[in-house]
Amino acid sequence: MNRFPNEDFSFPINMEYIFFQQQSNTREIMQTIRSEHNDVYSDLERLGLNRNLIDLLITFIVNFTISQEGTNLQPRQVYNRFRNQIPGFNLILRQINIRDSELERIIVRIIEIILDIMRNGSRPPEPGRGWSRWESLGGVLATAPAAASWQPNRLDVFAGGTGNSLYHIWWDGSRWSSWESLGGTITSAPAAVSWGPNRIDVFARGTDNALWHIWWDGRRWSSWESLGGVLTSSPGVSSWQPNRLDVFGRGTDNALWHIWWDGNRWSEWESLGGSLTSGPAAVSWGPNRIDVFARGTDNALWHIWWDGRRWSSWESLGGVLTSGPAVSSKRPNHLDVFVKGTNNTLYKRTWNGSRWEEWENLGVNIDSDPAAVSWGPNRTDLFSTGPRRDLLHMYEGR
């Protein structure tokens, strides 16, 4: 089988024709194909095409299919038009040793995907009030995600995946990485936090229902360690100073339980009471301050906090939750709590420094507990599992 070199292959095509379509539509469809239909890439690679050529070929197919919008043609009819009207396609067939039927099957499948995206959409609706569109980051998630940030414009996201292992994807300021496996066998969604530059700590429940911990020290990932306990939920974690960790989970009595790392050793577990029906979410907005949230037996959002001297009593913040909460803080004395409400709608409630604002409907649906993180005073990133078990991401601010 002849294979192309890594250099780009040039098509003798009128580029003015190719790029007359709105590029935003092309980018969105290409992103969806890459993240949700990567199997077509694998099929074309098995035929001997390199990644650069595949990207170029699919871009041509996307643009051509967009140009057929409104014709109500079937995928094979669009394919026949593509082959007849794009001379570069026939040039490919003359240059490489691929059976027509194999390549035809794959291209018809790509056109079918494009038409489905164009006609039916492939993502939840776009939120309002300054939020970006949802984007898919791929993956096949078995749990809700968790997110952390150790510097501005850096995001690390974790979730349980195939084989119940912990999987990781990150944004380095310019692009998203591929997914990597961090091993382990987890039975809950993870929780993640950073207490300093290039440091991440991740926690999850193991098969023995104990709390398990893995961390990145700036050079490598540690081995997994057990911190004991008997959890009946996913954990939550926060950090209010360097080398300090506070981890929370629901115990067998449905109360909130707490364990912490003080820089030298792990404490014993302590009960903070309450009656939880979800895993907790925790955040710190300043030194010696922790806020923890969970769903109560009445399906409302409940809140408890540490003020540097003592734990508060539990307070109800209302709402009707159908998920556990997520919380982030983008500045001191500011909290944003996100939950899935009735009809799987995403809601937010904000503490503005002096009072709790009313619940805000963000106008989108989610399929799992949300995850939230803020890496700056005007930035919040949200994550959820999509309808195809992929990771979805949207953000507010700069």
Question: Both tokens of residue 234?
Answer: 């996913």
Taking 70 as the threshold, does the pLDDT of residue 22 lie above it? no
pLDDT of residue 20 exceeding 80, the answer is no
**Which is more confident, 264 or 113?**
264
Tokens of 147: 């997110």
- What is the structure's pLDDT at 72? 73
CA-nearest of 62, 53, 44, 52 to 1 is: 44
Per-residue pLDDT of 192-215, as tens digits, reads 999 999 999 999 999 999 999 999
| pLDDT of 303 over the 60 cut | yes
- pLDDT in the model for residue 12: 36
Helices (runs of H) and strands (runs of E) counted in the chain: 7, 24
Mean of the pLDDT values across residues 138-148? 96
- Selected residue with higher pLDDT from 332 and 2: 332
**Per mean pLDDT, which range of 15-29, 130-144, 181-195, 356-370 is the poorest?**
15-29
> pLDDT tens digits, residue range 379-388?
999 999 988 8
Encoding tokens for residue 87? 């001379």
pLDDT of 120 reads 62
Q: How would residue 9 be classed by pLDDT, with cut points 50, 70 and 90?
A: very low
Q: Say whether 192 sits in a helix, a strand or coil.
A: strand
Percent of the chain that is helix, strand, coil (3-state, to 5): 25, 30, 45
Q: Is the pLDDT of residue 343 over 50?
A: yes
How far is the C-alpha of 361 from the C-alpha of 290, rounded, in Å?
Answer: 26
Cα–Cα nearest to 315, from 324, 302, 305: 302
Q: Is the pLDDT of residue 314 over 60?
A: yes
Tokens in use for 373?
């993180």
16 pLDDT more than 60 = no
CB within 8 Å of 204: residues ≥ 6 apart: 160, 166, 184, 186, 187, 188, 189, 190, 191, 211, 212, 234, 235
Strand partners, 211: 205
> Across residues 230-239, what is the average pLDDT?
98
* Contact between 150 and 194 (Cβ < 8 Å): yes
Is 351's pLDDT higher than 60? yes
Strands (E), 266-357: 270-271, 281-283, 290-295, 301-306, 315-316, 326-328, 335-340, 345-351
